[in-house]
Amino acid sequence: MLSKQNNPRGQRSADGTGEPSLYLGIDFGTSGARYALVDQQGAIHSEGKITYPHVDKVTNWANSWKEALFHLLSDIPSIYRPSISSISIDGTSATTLIINRNNGELLAGPFLYNESFTDALLTVESIAPANHTVCSGSSTLCKLVSWWNSSSAGLRSRDSAILMHQSDWLLWLLHGQYGVSDYNNTLKVGYDPETDAYPSWLMSQPYAYMLPSVRAPGAPIGSIKEDVRAQLGFPDHCVVCTGTTDSIAAFLAARTTTPGKAVTSLGSTLAIKLVSSVRVDDARFGVYSHRLDDMWLVGGASNTGGAVLRQLFNDEQLVVLSKEIDSSIPSPLDYYPLPKPGERFPVSDPNMMPRLQPRPESDAAYLHGILESIARIEAKGYSLLKELGASAVEEVLTAGGGSQNEKWTAIRGRVLGVPVKKAEQTEAAYGAALLALKGATTTH
């Protein structure tokens, strides 16, 4: 477990102690969790991380997350804890638990974000609109239906059961109120963020009573439980707020929320998220929209990205060869870099073959061609979102490892035709802390 603390100058707290009010965000990712503690200006005062304890089988995940949560809370320097005004947590999308609402017992799961329940897919497709977000084996609704239809879901279990997402459950450990979620996490169980309600086709199902109530991300739920507060030295007025998904929290970290502003994540794959005044959903391209207050966050993800580069070059080569590239001159090479066959966005073709030939004699020219081709795919993605009705892209902030490559940033700016720069903050924990700040603001 690693942590570090900073001491930026903060504002005075509302409680008159003279210490700045602080806001805590915690991110639960796939391999570990981290926290960020910020003040009202967004300056980081402390941050830390922990990898999950070893898990022998999937049913131990809940204990592992709980252990990680309280380790992180204990790791926050004690000098800061009395100043923490609010807390929010993000978790992996569609990670699902079934809980006994009478005693908090875990009835089933956790079912992880990437677990597919194809046994429920036909049932879900028969009740949901065509090409709906829930029509995927890994959706929250497929997980719920699979459990409902299983022999383990006995009548006694069903009567007291309630569905929780990963961040719902972790927040519940702090506030103690059952069945509270947010409209980002509930998207994949069928919640309609545009009407701000569950649709009638879902509410007519026999398990509809298991669905949590839904609030905006960052909405205050209630005070932190007294036993937790006393154990950790948090203040009486500390409020626990609703959370969001990890990808939305990472977007929020970039602090850009006006139409036309976007974040491209250049990790193993290329993922884009664009703030739009218009909602766009098109299952043909894997495009769907999350609500972002009174705006929409439209996204898509390509299989191109850093994974292709790592198949061809090591880190040192990427640094050395990039220096030889003239980013102002377009590469004449036309590739479609994929790590293996198959593409999902902006072209949906499970059989698309990688195109990485011809290879020039110069490795720098080859890298230039690949970087330029990935930039063209990114540009085509933003163009497709516009064709589907989303706002036109005006500025792109970059997250992920690819944001470190200045030559690639310059190439992308030229190809996209809009300003492109590295995002100052990209950690989901920072985005969750901004949600906590939002929640604290709405309580005063």
Q: 169 and 270 share a domain?
A: no
Residue 4 inside a domain? The answer is no
Q: 434 and 357 share a domain?
A: no
Residue 398 inside a domain? The answer is yes
Q: Decide if pLDDT at 237 tops 70.
A: yes
Residue 285 inside a domain? The answer is yes
Q: 178 and 130 share a domain?
A: yes
pLDDT at residue number 158: 86
Q: 341 and 438 share a domain?
A: no
Q: 288 and 172 share a domain?
A: no
Q: Name the burial class of residue 120, with classes exposed (0-12), middle (13-18) and buried (19+) by CB atoms within 10 angstroms of its CB.
A: buried
Give the count of domains, the chain: 2
Q: 268 and 210 share a domain?
A: no
Residue 195 inside a domain? The answer is yes
Residue 28 inside a domain? The answer is yes
Q: 225 and 339 share a domain?
A: no
**Domain region containing 34:** 22-247+430-442
Q: 233 and 317 share a domain?
A: no
Q: 108 and 230 share a domain?
A: yes
Residue 56 inside a domain? The answer is yes
Q: 235 and 334 share a domain?
A: no
Q: 314 and 339 share a domain?
A: yes
Q: 172 and 296 share a domain?
A: no
Give the percent of the chain with pLDDT over 90: 79
Looking up residue 365, the CATH number of its domain turns out to be: 3.30.420.40
Q: Decide if pLDDT at 118 tops 50.
A: yes
Question: What is the per-residue pLDDT across 313-324, written as a single tens digit (0 to 9) for each?
Answer: 999 999 999 999
Provide the whole-model pTM.
0.86
Interval 286-309 mean pLDDT: 91
Interval 161-186 mean pLDDT: 96
Residue 437 inside a domain? The answer is yes
Which three-class secondary structure string do you get for the chain?
CEEEECCCCCCCCCCCCCCCCEEEEEEECCCEEEEEEECCCCCEEEEEEEECCCCCCHHHHHHHHHHHHHHHHHHCCCCCHHHEEEEEEEECCCCEEEEECCCCCEEEEEECCCCCCHHHHHHHHHHCCCCCCCCCCCCHHHHHHHHHCCCCCCHHHHHHEEEEEHHHHHHHHHHCCCCEEECCHHHHHCCECCCCECCHHHHCCCCHHHCCEEECCCCEEEECCHHHHHHHCCCCCCEEECCEEHHHHHHHHCCCCCCCEEEEEECCCEEEEEEECCCCCEHHHCEEEEEECCEEEEEEEECCCHHHHHHHCCHHHHHHHHHCCCCCCCCCCCCECCCCCCECCCCCECCCCCECCCCCCCHHHHHHHHHHHHHHHHHHHHHHHHHCCCCCCCEEEEECHHHHCHHHHHHHHHHHCCCEEECCCCCHHHHHHHHHHHHHHHCC
Residue 234 inside a domain? The answer is yes
pLDDT-based confidence at residue 14 (cuts at 50, 70, 90): very low
pLDDT at residue number 4: 60
